[in-house]
């Protein structure tokens, strides 16, 4: 997989897993180990589907609820593109 922001390339596990976009979607939220950008990753294709600009400086301090809300938006967008 390759980070579209900084060009970092590595296997999927190199990108830190943050959150699943839902059981009914193949997408998960991961973080680039080099630049820290959030990436919506298609786990089936093992490719970056979308970069997700964090609305706050550190995603670590976010509650799961806030991330979940954002992920629902992202998932909706991605599934829409796929349809
Ligand atoms: Zn990066």
Two tokens, residue 48? 């970056």
CA of 7 to the centre of ligand 1 (A): 6
The whole-angstrom separation of Cα 82 and Cα 35 is 27
Q: Where are the beta strands (DSSP E) in the chain?
A: 16-20, 27-31, 38-42, 47-52
H or E segment to which residue 79 belongs:
helix 64-82
Ion ligand 1: residues, Cβ under 5 Å: 3, 5-6, 8, 32, 34-35, 37
Q: Would you state the pLDDT for residue 76?
A: 82
If pLDDT is split at 50, 70 and 90, which confidence band does 81 have?
A: low
What sign has the CA pseudo-torsion 38, 79, 26, 64? positive
pTM of the model: 0.69
């Amino acid at each position: 997989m390759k980070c579209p922001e900084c060009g970092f390339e590595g296997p999927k596990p190199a990108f830190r897993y943050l959150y699943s976009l839902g059981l009914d979607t193949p997408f998960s939220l991961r973080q680039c180990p080099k630049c820290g950008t959030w990436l919506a990753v298609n786990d089936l294709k093992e490719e970056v589907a979308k970069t997700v600009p964090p609305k706050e400086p550190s995603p670590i301090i976010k509650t799961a609820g806030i991330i979940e809300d954002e992920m629902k938006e992202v998932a909706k967008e991605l599934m829409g593109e796929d349809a």
